Structure 1
Amino acid sequence: MGVRKDLRTARNRLPEPAGRVRLEVIRERGEVREVRAGALGEPLRTGSIADIPFHNAAEAPGETVYRRKDAAGRWRPVSAAAFAREVTAVAKGLIAAGLPAGGRVAVMSRTRYEWALLDFAIWAAGGMTVPVYATSSAGQVEWILRDSGTRFLVVETAEHAAVVARAARALAHGTEGEAGELMVWRLDDGAIGELTALGRSVEDAAVERRRSALTPEATATICYTSGTTGRPKGCALTHANLHAESVNTIDLLHPVFTEITGKQATTLLFLPLAHILGRTIQISCLKARIPVGHCPGIRPDELRPELESFRPTFVVGVPYLFEKIHDTGRAMAERMGRGSSFDRAERIAVRYAEAELAGHYGTGPAPGPGLRLARGLYDLLVYRRIRKALGGRLRYAISGGSPLDARLNLFFLGCGVVIYEGYGLTETTAAATLVPPLEPRPGTVGRPVPGTAVRIADDGEVLLKGPVVFGSYWRDPEATGRAKPDGWFATGDLGALDGDGFLTITGRKKDLLVTTGGKNVSPAVLEDRMRSRPPIGQCLVTGDRRPFIAALVTLDPDAVAHWLAVRGRPADTPLAELCRDAEMRADVQRAVDYANEAVSRAEAVRAFRIVPGEFSEENGLLTPSLKVKRKAVEAAYADAIADIYRS
């Protein structure tokens, strides 16, 4: 089915009010400066997010809310009643262990079913969850534990336990009153069973009392920012924040996911649950009783078999996922000697999607017979393989975390997968804007999530207000005051609103580069487009107080392995040799040329250096959410940058 027909059919089926959010567009001096979206869901007036499993158990005890793998690798259903019983049992164990009302429990684990169970059990016991990335260093863990005052931890592996032990030693040498014995349970060593056994002497009524004492204004979780520009700050998100995010996004999207596919909506969750986006998706799905499965990895080789066995109807990912699926498809075609065919298929998909959208919005002609015929041919040869890589049943996806290249979005749209982009931060409980259902707009991050307002400041900064916006940083009133000087949350991102209320992110305020010629350049659009093209892994655009814009580029290991194999080169060719290789540099230049198409000549990348190694969490150049630490990269590669400008 074509995109336009798909959307038109869905609009006719879609129940009110989903997809029809009241929008107020405010103009100043002829420009759109503010957009406000009416709420879909009612605000949380009593109770908390902790009530969701118990409401589900009362209303639909036999309905499947999760699917988890058994020892044989088969997906088994977990009913609403069973999940509520497990939540109660673990909550009793936490109470027996001494967790006080309002106490903090850190969870350091990859994405898995037990993460969800612990999250709701901590809330049911009256506590706050403190998520910790599974890749965090001892120093990062020590800071989070010290800042949050957390003394209860659940980790996944022996390696995590060792990291926590090092953090505990650092805590013990902290200032007076900071140190305290940590209670640590390990999932791979039977943590859930231990907590369940520990709580057997605690009455269910104790959990009920703790849960009923929670209010919408109570802090549910302390989520730490990625720390790209300094020490991470703890965002105190309330139960009301989490409710506002979940109820408004799921009311907006759920009817579309079910009405168009005609199937029970399901999703495989693979985003790190230490990231607020993964957490809010999980809450939203549980509230809507959308079955969720868990996958601990995001690498294509880890994820693809899980997608094929679970077969979700939609997924939530980051641009990295969609870039890798595209690149894997192209690599497969090249190995079969059909690289040029894949390139033609990509061009046809983009042209087809552009024409379908033009027809949908009435801005141009819909696809003609020739384009439809070509699209049908490449659907047989290429596009269905792309859909198969996503499980086979998937028609929709949500992308967040950073901007998705518009051409890549159009490619997937032409393949039959609609990707809805969103935008948000930890401080906004994940999405503050989202491309609305039935209105795909590649290149934008959508309209305000229902109940939210977006404003563009005089200097172009994106400001946000609404029930999804956090109240404060944990025990840091000064930082809170700087972030919300007049009630609007200052995101630090630059953007623009169009006449239909769609937001486009143009860069990061602190990352703005000013050349010696006086040209202001936002590196984000260049970096995002370069990263979307193999063989580039990571990159950093530089040029502040320099005569022109340049870039540091790393090579993606998988792309390099494929590149060598296709050319019959030795697999162990030294990376330093590849950095100087004329053919490799030509391929990187093509990616740079693609990035330069999006900017003026004065903003374009005029020179680049391929540098050995990677930007990673391990070497301190990436945050756990895969954001580049700009200052750290510039310091690590200071000589390479200086060499560019000496040339």
Structure 2
Amino acid sequence: MRQEYTQPLDSPIESDRNVFSLLDDRARRTPDESLIEYVGDDGKWKSFTPVEFRDKVIALAKGLIARGIKPGDSVAIIAHTSWQWTALDMAVMSIGALTIPVYETNSPAQVRMIFNDSNVKMAFAEDDVQRDKIDVVRDSCLDLKDVYVIALGAIEAIEKFGQGVTDEEFWQREKAVKGSDLATIVYTSGSTGTPKGIELTHSNFVFITISGVQFMHDALNKPGRRMLLFLPLAHVFARFMELVCFAGSMTLGLSSDLKTILTDFRTFKPTFILAVPRIFEKIYNAASQKAGSGVAGHIFSHAAETAIAWSKVQQSGQPIPWVLRIRHAIYNKLVYSAIMQIFGGKVEYAVSGGAPLNATIAHFFNGVGLPLLEGYGMTETCAPAIVNPPKGYRIGTVGIPLQGVTVGVDETGELCIKSRAVCAGYHNHPEITKAQIVDGWLHTGDLGSIGADGFVTLTGRKKDIIITAGGKNVSPAEVEASVMVSPVVSQCVMVGDRKPFIAAIISLDLQETNTWLKSEGAEPVKDLKEASENPIVRAEVERAVNKANELVSRAESIRKFEIVPDEFTEANGMLTPSLKAKRQVITEHYKALIDNVIYAPKSRQ
């Protein structure tokens, strides 16, 4: 490695513990505290103590045993974030079976692929909509036996099945689960467009969870700490944060509806928030829109400028000028305090992950009084590997390694990670495992640098994967190839890195377009500009895009496209010799179109 940095552990972490032991230990440490809180059918917050939740998990685990789930069997969950998701997940893993999380937005084709690749034997669906996805492909999922619907009493049914299983049978199964055993297979986008299953062990989860608690002890362990979690639990980062709450002393609030998130902030009053950058962007934009364009808008604009300026000076380590201090204090009373109330008024820290964080947004919230601690990790590292510390955080970096984690930069500039949290491998793909994990080093596909004090800065992406502002990893190859099947399309280049949704820039083949127009009984066009403006051609492109979108989830689909009146060639640098589009070149060339048309900022009303 050209550069290397290790963050030492404060205390040793046992290597042979299983995930259930984190919950069991919490039940013994703080049996009567509030562990999990959720909004009930009456709109009020309900809660489980650690003992109540552990007993619920054991009851479900007994039911799984009664239904024939054995160690190593795969059980899928397709549902929104809820206590039921968490309880089922813990129950599955507690008896040595594997949880297979599936996003609610996955298409039936993706469900079929995941179920067959991981040999799913039992599945839990949120409701009829999710069950219908399974039913569409059920005949081709040969290992699948039972399907239960959470909204139709699945929890109660599984508990009923388990009443004939003794405590002794459960504990015998639980004690047999070792740290080296697989706990879950999490599917993430690969460079080819086909999701790859990441094999994560109990030891992977336990190590990184306890490391995280040691790293952020004050934020996670002081009395009265509360975290509101609203990311989908199919995302490994969300599951990691649940386990952090179990291993520490936090109360975990679960929410899944972004339409109610502001109400949930206000009523739950978190001290700690985990979110993707898009959430903070939405809150910033909502505050700006609410201020409007009159006097209030003028005040907000100056308040935002002051917050950003204050943050930049604070980050530089220089004394803050007295004029800026006074302006900041005034706006704190007029504007910032109201923004902090949006989060419930108690929040001290927020961790931003899953996608790059815009520096302006980071400086704004830091200046308002809410440090956004940016971090970095992958499914392959069991979520986080690097994060900014609560004290001494640096905007523009992704922080320093968690305790017990080593980061390196190889001779090509690629960021590499070595730790006990690095995955066991890629399910059914030993060749990818061998290529990606070399001598214990996970090659991340990202380019970066490491400072002398361990702070990591990302400098680019080696992989051709788009990461949206919502944290969704999107591999564009499959959708792009589908769009280019259309007779009028020459090239389709998807964009959306750090943006709120996926879009596409599409070029046309003039000769083929005219041939197609004639076949449709329409008049030919004289040039690419006329072709790009032709409503018949646009309708055909839209048809091709809609068809391609059927292959993927909504978050991965093309939501908007622009047809450009240009030809992509090797001569103008847009194509490689093998006629593949150069994404970076095209994205830079059409930067104005992307920023000002496709993702046009919303004007204030």
* TM-score of the pair, normalised by structure 2: 0.78
SS at match of 1:403: coil
Residue matched to 1:348: 306
Query: What CA deviation, in whole Å up to 9, does each residue of 1:133-181 have, x standing for no partner?
Result: 011110111011100011111110100000011121333xxxxxxx134
**Equivalent in the alignment of 2:427:** 474
C-alpha separation in 2, matches of 1:623 and 1:641:
30
Aligned runs of 1:476-491 on 2, under 5 Å? 476-491=429-444
Change (3 A) 1:118 1:389: same
- For residues 385 and 552 of structure 2, what CA distance do their matches in structure 1 show? 24
State the match for 1:226 in structure 2.
189
| Cα distance in 1 for residues equivalent to 2:197 and 2:227 | 29
1:196 aligns with 2:149: no
Q: CA offsets per residue over residues 418-446 of structure 1, 9 Å max, x none?
A: 11111011000001111122011001101
- Identity percentage of aligned residues: 31
Q: State the distance in 1 between where 2:63 and 2:289 align.
A: 50
Gaps (5+ residues) in structure 2? 477-492, 502-540, 569-585, 594-605
CA contact (8 A) 2:271 2:349 kept: yes
Question: Is residue 50 from structure 1 mapped to residue 50 from structure 2 by the alignment?
Answer: no
In the TM superposition, 1:228-377 aligns within 5 A as 229-256=192-219, 264-297=224-257, 299=258, 301-334=259-292, 338-359=296-317, 364=318, 366-377=319-330
Does 2:78 align with 1:125? no
Alpha-carbon distance change, 621 to 100 in structure 1, aligned in 2, over 3 angstroms: closer
Q: Write out per-residue CA displacement over residues 400-422 of structure 1, whole angstroms, 9 at most, x where no aligned residue.
A: 00110112111101000011111
Whole-angstrom CA distance in 1 between matches of 2:553 and 2:441: 26
RMSD value over aligned CA atoms? Answer: 3.2
SS of match in other structure, 1:64: coil
Structure 1 ranges of 4+ moved more than 3 A: 256-259, 550-557, 615-618, 620-624, 636-647
**Which of 315, 327, 337 is residue 384 of structure 1 equivalent to?**
337
Query: Match for 2:453 among 496, 500, 519?
Result: 500
- Post-superposition offset of 1:131: 0.6
Cα deviations across residues 26-85 of structure 1 (Å, max 9, x unaligned)? Answer: 9x5xxxx11111123433333311122222223332122111223322212311111111
Supply the AA of the counterpart residue of 2:440. G
Could you give the per-residue CA deviations for residues 368-412 of structure 1, whole angstroms, max 9, x where no partner exists?
A: 221111112212222122212222211200000011011211110
CA contact (8 A) 2:62 2:163 kept: yes
Give yes or no for the alignment of 1:75 onto 2:45.
yes
CA distance in 2 between counterparts of 1:96 and 1:256 reads 41
Which amino acid is the alignment partner of residue 416 of structure 1?
A: G
Distance 1:69 1:452 in 2: 37
Match for 1:428: what amino acid? T
* TM superposition shift of 1:237: 0.4
Deviation at 1:617, TM superposition (A): 13
Q: Pick closer, same or farther for the CA change 1:378–1:197 going to 2, 3 Å.
A: same
Aligned to 2:143: 180
CA distance in 2, matches of 1:551, 1:235: 25
Paired residue type of 1:190: G
From the superposition, tell whether residues 511 and 101 of structure 1 become closer, same or farther in structure 2 (CA, over 3 Å).
Answer: closer
Partner of 1:601: none
Query: 1:538-549 residue pairs with structure 2 within 5 A?
Result: none
Cα-to-partner distance string for 1:505-560 (whole Å, 9 max, x where unaligned): 12211349xxxxxxxxxx98xx97xx99xxxxx9x9xxxxxxxxx99689979xxx
CA–CA separation in structure 1 for the residues paired with 2:116 and 2:134? 12
8 Å CA contact retained: 2:18, 2:177: yes
Match of 1:99 in 2: 69
What secondary structure sits across from 2:35 in the alignment?
A: strand
Q: Which amino acid aligns with 1:508?
A: R
1 CA distance for matches of 2:208 and 2:390? 16
In 1, Cα distance between the equivalents of 2:324 and 2:550? 47
Q: Distance in 2 between matches of 1:382 and 1:101?
A: 55
Write the letter of the residue equivalent to 1:279. R
Query: Residues 182 and 202 of structure 2 are in contact (CA less than 8 Å); yes or no, is this contact kept in structure 1?
Result: yes
2:85 paired with 1:111: no
Of 157-166 and 286-295, more deviation after overlay is shown by 286-295
Select the residue among 439, 453, 462 that pairs with 1:509: 462
- The structure-2 alpha-carbon separation of the partners of 1:238 and 1:112, relative to structure 1 and needing over 3 Å to count, comes to same
TM-superposed CA distance for 1:257, in Å, is 5.2
How many pairs align? 512
| Equivalent-residue separation in structure 2 for 1:431 and 1:371 (angstroms) | 36
- Out of 361, 365, 375, the residue aligned to residue 412 of structure 1 is 365
SS at match of 1:372: helix
Choose from 24, 29, 34 the match for 1:64.
34
Secondary structure (helix, strand or coil) at the match of 1:304 reads helix
CA distance in 1, matches of 2:140, 2:181: 30
Partner SS state of residue 510, structure 1 = coil
Closer/same/farther in 2, CA of residues 440 and 623 from structure 1, 3 Å limit: farther
1:356 CA displacement: 2.1
Contact kept, 8 Å, 1:221 with 1:238, in 2: the verdict is yes
Aligned AA (1:503): V
Aligned to 1:619: 549
Q: How far has the Cα of 1:344 moved from its partner? A: 1.2
AA in 2 matched with 1:267: M
Q: Residues 229 and 180 (structure 1 numbering): CA distance in 2 closer, same or farther, change over 3 Å?
A: closer
Question: Per-residue displacement from partner, 1:200-229 (whole Å, max 9, x unpaired)?
Answer: 111111110110001110001111113464
Amino acid at match of 1:93: G
Measured after TM superposition, the shift of residue 623 of structure 1 is 6.5
**What is the match of residue 459 of structure 1?**
412
Q: Is the 8 A contact 2:220 2:249 kept in 1?
A: no
Deviates more, 1:41-50 or 1:303-312: 41-50
Contact 2:220-2:245 at 8 Å conserved across structures:
no
Residue of 380, 400, 403 corresponding to 1:447: 400
The correspondence for 1:432, drawn from 363, 385, 395, is 385
- 1:569 maps to none
Pair 257,50 (structure 1): closer, same or farther in 2 beyond 3 Å = closer
Cα distance in 2 for partners of 1:258, 1:213 equals: 30
SS of the aligned residue for 1:93 comes to: helix
Deviation, 1:245, is 1.1
Shift of 1:472: 1.0
Shift of the 218–181 alpha-carbon distance from structure 1 to 2, 3 Å rule, reads closer
The answer as to whether partners of 1:552 and 1:641 remain within 8 angstroms in 2 is: no
Q: Which residue number corresponds to residue 543 of structure 1? A: none
The one-letter amino acid paired with 1:619 is N
Once residues 328 and 221 of structure 2 are traced to their aligned partners in structure 1, the CA distance between those partners, rounded to angstroms, is 26
Give the residue type in structure 2 aligned to 1:353. S
Q: Does structure 2 retain, via aligned residues, the 8 Å contact 1:473–1:479?
A: yes
Q: Which amino acid aligns with 2:549?
A: N
Change (3 A) 1:495 1:344: same
Q: Distance in 2 between matches of 1:160 and 1:236?
A: 24
